[in-house]
Amino acid sequence: MVRFPRATHRNIYVRSLAAGQRVMASVVRFLEGKLRLRVNRDKSAVAPVGERKFLGHRLLWNGKLGLAPKSLERAKQRIRQITRRNRGVSLAQVTQELNSFLTGWLNYFRYAACRAELQRLDGWIRRKLRTYRLKQRKRGKSVAVFLQQLGAPADQTWRIASSGKGWWRLANSAPAKRAMDNEWFATQGLVSLLARYDALHP
C-alpha cells in the first residue's frame, strides 16, 4: 500500500490565468480521481504570483523569494505580545525574549529578499521598546530626568513630559529618539534584523 502524507503544499507556475485554471482542474482530477486524495479548496487557488504564499514566502516579480505579508503580520503580533506595556518585567528581559524570537524568525526567512521590510520592522520594534521604557518611568518628572540622563535637551524633555500625549506618541518624539537611539539599543543588546540580514548577504 502506498501512503501519502496528510497535507502537502505545492505551487505550480504557468504563463497565464487561463493556463492556471486548466492546470488546476487537471491536478484536482488527478489527485481526487486517481489518488483518492482530498484537495483543500479553501487553500487552493489560481492567482497572480505575488498574491500566493508558500511556507511563509511569496515569489516576487523578479523570480526571487520574498516575505509573505501574513508572515510579517504574524511576527508583529508576536512582538506585540512580548512588548506588552503591562507585563511588569524589566526591559532587559523583554529584549532577551525579543532576541530569541527575532533570531530564529530571521534565520527561517534568511533567503527572502526582504531588506526594506526588515529596516521598517527594526524601527517599529525600537519604537515599541521606547514606549515600554517610558511607561516604566510612570510620571512626567521621571520621564524628563531619564531622557536628560541619556543626553536629550532639558527644555525638550520637560515639554514632552508635560504634554499629556500617550506613550506611543511620546516614544516617537525627537527627544525620546535622540536619547534612545540605535547606539543605545545596541548597548542594551537588542538584535538588529537589518544588520544580521546584511551579514548573511555580504
DSSP reduced 3-state for 144: helix
Burial class (CB within 10 angstroms; exposed 0-12, middle 13-18, buried 19+) of 82: buried
Q: Does 92 share its domain with 117? A: yes
Residue 24 pLDDT grade (very low, low, confident, very high; cuts 50, 70, 90): low
**57 and 71 in contact (C-beta within 8 Å)?**
yes
- pLDDT > 90: percent of the chain: 59
Decide which of 65, 81, 96 is a domain's last residue. Answer: 65
User: What residue numbers bound the domain in which 125 lies?
Assistant: 69-188
pLDDT band per the 50, 70, 90 thresholds, residue 140: confident
Q: How many whole angstroms separate alpha carbon 96 and alpha carbon 135?
A: 19
Look at residue 109 and tell me if it is in a domain: yes
Kindly state the cell numbers that stand for 159. 515639554
Whether this model's pTM surpasses 0.85: no
What is the predicted pLDDT for the residue at 177? 95
Number of structural domains the chain divides into? 2
Q: Do 75 and 45 share a structural domain?
A: no
* 5: confidence class by pLDDT, cuts 50, 70, 90: very low
| Domain edge (last residue) among 46, 65, 84 | 65
- Order of strands across the sheet that contains 53-54: 53-54, 57-59, 65-67
- The answer to whether residue 161 sits within a structural domain is yes
Helices (H), 12-88: 17-29, 69-82
Say how many Å lie between the first and final Cα of the chain, rounded.
Answer: 49
φ/ψ of 24, rounded to 5, equals -60, -50
Q: Are residues 110 and 52 in the same domain?
A: no
- DSSP code, position 65: E
pLDDT-wise least confident of 25-39, 40-54, 137-151: 40-54
Is the CB of residue 105 less than 8 Å from the CB of residue 93? no
* Same domain assignment for residues 55 and 86: no
| Residue-wise DSSP of 39-52 | P-TTT-----GGG-
- Give the residue-averaged pLDDT of 112-140: 95
> Above 90 in pLDDT, residue 202?
no
145-185 per-position pLDDT tens digit: 999 999 999 999 999 888 888 999 999 999 999 999 999 99
- In this prediction, residue 44 has a pLDDT band, given cuts at 50, 70 and 90, of low
Are 130 and 177 spatial neighbours (Cβ–Cβ below 8 Å)?
A: yes
Mark which of 43, 65, 87 sits at the end of a domain. Answer: 65
The pLDDT value recorded for residue 39 is 67
128 and 146 share one domain: yes
Same-domain pairing of 23 and 114: no
What confidence tier does 6 reach under pLDDT thresholds 50, 70, 90?
Answer: very low
- Residues 74, 61, single domain; the answer is no
Is 102 a residue whose pLDDT tops 70?
yes
Which runs of consecutive H residues, i.e. helices, occur in the chain? Answer: 17-29, 69-82, 91-108, 115-137, 140-149, 154-161, 167-170, 174-179, 182-187, 193-200
User: Are both 42 and 81 inside the same structural domain?
Assistant: no
Measured between alpha carbons, how far is 164 from 188 in angstroms, rounded to an integer? 28
More confident: 75 or 60: 75
Is 74 in the same domain as 54? no
